[in-house]
């Protein structure tokens, strides 16, 4: 992916790890569908934040717990 010039390369390097973990777990393993309820424990961390975003994109009702 292309990193914008205003983004730190070190921070951008961690994005695939957090989002990849969430995406595989929610979409491929759990089969998250629109209308389902997703409870995200640890939503204040990198993987938790990405899980919240992916859940919303999938159309789920997301409940986030820090």
On whether residue 20 sits in a domain, the answer given is yes
Total domains in the fold of the chain: 1
Residue-number span of the structural domain to which 31 is assigned:
9-65
What's the CATH number where 61 sits?
A: 3.40.50.720
The reported pLDDT for the residue numbered 3 is: 87
The reported pLDDT for the residue numbered 1 is: 74
Distance (Å) of CA 19 to CA 29, 32, 48: 14, 15, 9
On whether residue 17 sits in a domain, the answer given is yes
The reported pLDDT for the residue numbered 11 is: 85
Judging by DSSP bridges, how do beta strands 61-65 and 37-41 pair with one another? parallel
pTM exceeds 0.85, yes or no: no
On whether residue 1 sits in a domain, the answer given is no
On whether residue 56 sits in a domain, the answer given is yes
CB of 43 closer than 8 Å to CB of 56: no
* Residue in this structure with the two tokens 């859940």, named with its chain if needed: 55
CB of 64 closer than 8 Å to CB of 45: no
Is the predicted pLDDT of residue 2 greater than 90, yes or no? no
On whether residue 49 sits in a domain, the answer given is yes
On whether residue 4 sits in a domain, the answer given is no
The reported pLDDT for the residue numbered 54 is: 98
pLDDT digits (tens, 9 = 90+) for 8-60: 999 888 889 999 999 999 999 999 999 999 999 999 999 999 999 999 999 99
């Amino acid at each position: 992916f292309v990193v914008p010039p205003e983004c730190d390369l070190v921070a951008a390097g961690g994005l695939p790890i957090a989002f990849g973990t969430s995406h595989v777990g929610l979409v491929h393993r759990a089969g998250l569908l629109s209308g389902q309820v997703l409870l995200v424990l640890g939503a204040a961390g990198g993987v938790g934040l990405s899980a919240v975003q992916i859940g919303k994109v999938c159309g789920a009702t997301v409940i986030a717990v820090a």
